[in-house]
Amino acid sequence: MKVVFLDRDGVINKFPGNGNYVTKIKEFHFISGSLESIRCLTEEGFDIFVVSNQAGVGKGVYSERKLQHINRNMLREVKKHGGKIKRVFYCTHRSDAGCGCRKPEIGNIRKAFKLVNKPLSSARKSYFVGDTEGDIQAGVNAGCKTIFVLSGRENRRHLRGWAVKPDYIVKDLSEATKIITNNHVK
């Protein structure tokens, strides 16, 4: 079982800033090394899923059509650089909607495991890479090993108040990829 879950903003692309959203392709900038990391994980045989909250759609800041356009462009660039993301799962609901797919809930993680015909109990051999407490909580809730990257929204200072702690803390997806590839049981 080789599965990696990646948050999007702050892990794959640059975090746009608190209260801001990536609403256009020209605002989507890959973090240095993220394309190479996704290629490496692909070459190592991992199924890669993006699991991302995109509440800007639910708030009316941008349309689901624009989100899909940004998504297609991201996938095209990933493929062009030798990587493959199996599926992108977004929750477009506002945080007050009580949606079961909005992280830290695990609805989208369940969908990913269903897609690869594996039970959720397989998560203990999987990784969740994120830049917020909600990402790490989602990974823990699903049973994944968790990797907190410092390339996005939250930093080490935020960890003090978290209810859960990540298994690993790294600079970015490049360092997370080294941990995943070096520690994964073949």
CATH code of the domain covering residue 156: 3.40.50.1000
167 as an active site residue: the answer is no
For 64-86, letters b (16+ CB in 10 Å) and e give eebbeebbeebbebbeeeebebe
Of the pLDDT bands very low, low, confident and very high (cuts 50, 70, 90), residue 42 is: very high
DSSP string, 119-162: -GGGGGG-EEEESSHHHHHHHHHHT-EEEEESSSS--HHHHTT-
Q: Could you tell me which of 48, 84, 83, 89 has the C-alpha nearest to residue 67?
A: 89
Q: What is the pTM of this model?
A: 0.95
In the predicted model, what is the mean pLDDT of residues 120-126? Answer: 89
The residues facing 53 across adjacent strands are 91
Q: Give 129-159 pLDDT, tens digit per residue.
A: 999 999 999 999 999 999 999 999 999 999 9
Listed in sequence order, the residues at least 6 apart from 126 whose beta carbon sits closer than 8 Å to its beta carbon are 1, 3, 4, 5, 142, 144, 145
Q: Which of 7, 47, 131, 135 is catalytic?
A: 7
Q: Across all residues in the chain, what is the average pLDDT?
A: 94
How far, in Å, CA of 168 to CA of 38, rounded? 18
Q: Could you tell me which of 161, 153, 109 has the C-alpha nearest to residue 131?
A: 153
In the chain, the number of structural domains is: 1
**Structural domain span for residue 121:** 3-183
131 as an active site residue: the answer is no
